[in-house]
Structure 1
Amino acid sequence: SPPIRAAYRELAASVADDVRTTFVESPSNAERRAALSGADLFLSLADSIQETFGLAPVEAMAAGLPVVAVDAVGTDDIVTHGEEGLLTTNDADALAAAIGRVLDDDDLRADLAANGAAHAQRLDMMHQADRMVAVYRQAMVDRRAGRTVRVDAGPISTRLSDYLRILGQRVFDSA
């Protein structure tokens, strides 16, 4: 929407006078690659609990971009603060500080980009499929040997309980 775009442009201008912003609705793969190849960083403002997997940040990391993102469900599973990008709260001052930090520090920007590209490769669909096959094979070996097959879901169950708590608050707050 125009008001949201204006707010994003204002945020970008608060970081540096010469920042250019481009909004592309439903880009093709070629348009997406072209846009990412000309960027210095990727900014993800998604703070919705409905975003369960941060595909856009993964695409940006695969293109070699450092990520600055709102610390939210989905994104926090993809971006580790200080490793592949910087996570921050969803307010203009915190976002501007994180953007400025990445743009002002060439070494940090290069480290985040390199770490992100490597992480994106690990998240590649074929790599994940190979890992899943390995889990199933191990489960079959364990089952044949009479061992109980268990999966540690500690961090996942913690995030799920956080998600349900937030969702419940939103449902009851709107009633």
Structure 2
Amino acid sequence: MRILSIVTLVSPTGEYGGPVRVAVNQARALTELGHDVTIAGSFRGFPEAPKALEGIPAHLVPARTLLPGVGFAGLAAPGLSRWVRSAARSADVVHVHLARDLVTVPAAMAARRAKIPYVLQTHGMIDPSRNPLARPLDAVATRRVLRDAAAVLYLTPVERAGLRAVAGDGIALSELRNGVPSAAEAAPPQGLEVLYLARLAPRKRPETFVAAADTLGAEFPKATFRLVGPDEGRAEEVSRRIRESAADVAWEGALDPDRTGERLSRAAIYVLPAVDEPYPMSVLEAMAAGLPVVVTDTCGLAPIIAETGCGIVVDDSIEALTAAIRRLLADPALRADQGRRAREVARERFSMQAIAHDLQAIYRRAVDGQPEAAPQDADPLSSP
């Protein structure tokens, strides 16, 4: 099949986060199955448009900030929709990693107008919202593309409910997990590093990580605490707290997504204090690297982490987060056991091969005009 995959923003720092990693991982796995995949979207931060992403052909146009002050929602990609309408004619299916922005929504509308089967994957980004920009965009476009999609892919029951609240019960919902490529088994880390690798965004609560480090620094003088990721509004506060901390804590800045695996291999523990995080790729990548993970109970991966014992699930308090990190720092055997379990869970339940086969089936149903089956109400993480 010829597949066109569309994302919002590609940059050398990976600032758009998980959706781009998901799209690239899917494209690589689908290519290995013999499919022809092209990734399209907008870009910034490169001297010129990349022609490929990790070996996958790409068509990227310069990102423009059409609406300042609203983050990624204000981005636009002039000319992309016109290109999508043309390119879609030679594609079998279009896969849009949809958000409420002026890149992916117009691209989905273009596929809809071209009458090409299209699949939407929303990554937890389409839900009932009080944002004043959401209502007019939903009325004009978002609901239309959701209702006419051959399939709308969701990660968790919470996301499924949110999509129904936005677009009604008639949309063709289908469960699809995120997957992660297998990581080579690395030698045990030389140091005792606790790592936060994610955007410095309010929902991800990087300052909570710094607060935990400040408490634990004196108890574990050999431990280091590192934040890695681009700023999305919290860098000033994080930097202030780091200056005031007596712990060995530092922010390393943004990192090229291609170097994520190598950076994770140097850590001993991975921590993401985020709340309401649907299905963080950074946690899956840490698990694949064999790291014990600490997440909050509102993380979409929390049920499987708790069930399999590959990390520790906490509430959203600083005290609970600090206690979980303390427990792992103090117990090398626990770190090793949870890290081993994490690698096994990533390999057995989140392999990209399985995801690619699931996607292939979804695409074929879309091309054949077969409706998606009604989703079950069971927790999609409850079984392997």
Question: C-alpha separation between the residues in 1 aligned to 2:207 and 2:306?
Answer: 29
The answer to whether 1:111 aligns with 2:337 is yes
- For structure 1, the residue ranges without an aligned partner over 5 or more in a row are 136-148, 157-175
The code of the aligned residue for 2:269 comes to: L
2:353 corresponds, among 126, 146, 155, to 126
Corresponding residue number in structure 2 for 1:32: 260
Query: Superposition RMSD on alpha carbons, in Å?
Result: 3.1
Alpha-carbon distance, 1:125 to partner:
1.8
Q: Secondary structure at the match of 2:322?
A: helix
The aligned runs of 1:72-91 (5 Å cut-off) are 72-80=298-306, 83-91=309-317
The code of the aligned residue for 1:59 comes to: E
The code of the aligned residue for 2:212 comes to: L
Question: C-alpha separation between the residues in 2 aligned to 1:77 and 1:87?
Answer: 8
Alpha-carbon distance, 1:21 to partner:
2.8
Identity among equivalent pairs (%): 27
Q: Secondary structure at the match of 1:39?
A: coil
**Given the superposition, is the C-alpha separation of residues 21 and 152 from structure 1 closer, same or farther in structure 2, using an over 3 Å criterion?**
same
The code of the aligned residue for 2:256 comes to: S
Q: Secondary structure at the match of 1:155?
A: coil
The aligned runs of 1:20-169 (5 Å cut-off) are 20-24=224-228, 25=230, 26-48=254-276, 51-80=277-306, 83-122=309-348, 123-130=350-357, 152-156=376-380
Question: C-alpha separation between the residues in 1 aligned to 2:208 and 2:272?
Answer: 14
**Given the superposition, is the C-alpha separation of residues 133 and 98 from structure 1 closer, same or farther in structure 2, using an over 3 Å criterion?**
same
Question: C-alpha separation between the residues in 2 aligned to 1:150 and 1:9?
Answer: 44
Q: Which has the larger radius of gyration?
A: 2
The one of the two structures with greater contact order (alpha-carbon pairs below 8 A, sep at least 6) is 1
Question: C-alpha separation between the residues in 2 aligned to 1:81 and 1:94?
Answer: 19
**Given the superposition, is the C-alpha separation of residues 128 and 9 from structure 1 closer, same or farther in structure 2, using an over 3 Å criterion?**
same
Relative to the length of structure 1, the TM-score reads 0.66
Question: C-alpha separation between the residues in 2 aligned to 1:126 and 1:12?
Answer: 38
Alpha-carbon distance, 1:5 to partner:
4.9
The code of the aligned residue for 1:57 comes to: V
Question: C-alpha separation between the residues in 2 aligned to 1:81 and 1:16?
Answer: 30
**Given the superposition, is the C-alpha separation of residues 154 and 11 from structure 1 closer, same or farther in structure 2, using an over 3 Å criterion?**
same
Alpha-carbon distance, 1:42 to partner:
0.3
Deviates more, 1:55-64 or 1:67-76: 67-76
**Given the superposition, is the C-alpha separation of residues 134 and 5 from structure 1 closer, same or farther in structure 2, using an over 3 Å criterion?**
closer
The code of the aligned residue for 2:355 comes to: Q
Aligned length: 141
Relative to the length of structure 2, the TM-score reads 0.33
Corresponding residue number in structure 1 for 2:214: 13
Q: Secondary structure at the match of 1:109?
A: helix
Q: Point out the structure with the larger strand share.
A: 2
The code of the aligned residue for 2:285 comes to: E
Q: Secondary structure at the match of 1:65?
A: coil
Question: C-alpha separation between the residues in 1 aligned to 2:354 and 2:379?
Answer: 21
Q: Point out the structure with the larger helix share.
A: 1
Question: C-alpha separation between the residues in 2 aligned to 1:2 and 1:84?
Answer: 25
Q: Secondary structure at the match of 1:97?
A: helix
Alpha-carbon distance, 1:82 to partner:
6.2
